[in-house]
Amino acid sequence: MGHSTRRGRKVQKMTNKEFIETIGRAAVAEYERFKILPSLTIAQAILESGWGQSTLAENGNNLFGMKISLSGNNWAGSAWDGINYYKKSTYEYGGSGRYSIKAKFRKYSCVEDSIEDHSAYLLGAKSGSRKRYAGLTKTKSYKKQLQIIKKGGYATSGSYVNDLCRVIRTYQLTKWDK
């Protein structure tokens, strides 16, 4: 694994700039393997972990809300050990609006493992026999990658794609895609 020498650094006490730098370096390294645009990975980490301040990030190094079971999927390249988890309440969105559930989330040894597992999931997750996010690596457009993950059912929030686009634009995250 070609991770930086800062592997395992805690993200909770970082400034926004330090968070982007740390996640950006790891996302660029994973881009070489998985072809998920770094801007998308960074924006998802920002949005889903609240800049690394969420209890899930703090207690499980889990930046993406990766549950222990994800639509019955297994995928190659998972960096999760298959054992450690963190249980907490979370909100889901469905036909009747927002509701709360207790769920078990993957616990990682470091945030870099969270990024690696998230990338491997996006590349390998299936819906039946077909790839859930087919075509994701065939585009270098973050907007197209976002539409593919939304279409694949990644997020239950209706504003997810717009929220990620706003984060990418606000923090000029496309510079990491070069």
How far from chain centre, in Å, is Cα 20? 14
pLDDT at position 163, please? 96
H-state helical runs in the chain: 16-34, 38-49, 55-60, 111-124, 142-151, 160-170
Burial 46-80 (b: 16+ CB within 10 A, else e): bbbbebbebebbeebbbbbbbebeeeeeebeebbb
Decide if pLDDT at 136 tops 60.
yes
pTM for the predicted model, two decimal places? 0.87
Could you please report the per-residue DSSP string of 132-149?
TTTTGGG---HHHHHHHH
Model confidence at 128, pLDDT cuts 50, 70, 90, reads confident
List pLDDT tens digits, range 36-77: 999 999 999 999 999 999 999 999 999 999 988 876 666 777
List pLDDT tens digits, range 11-27: 878 999 999 999 999 99
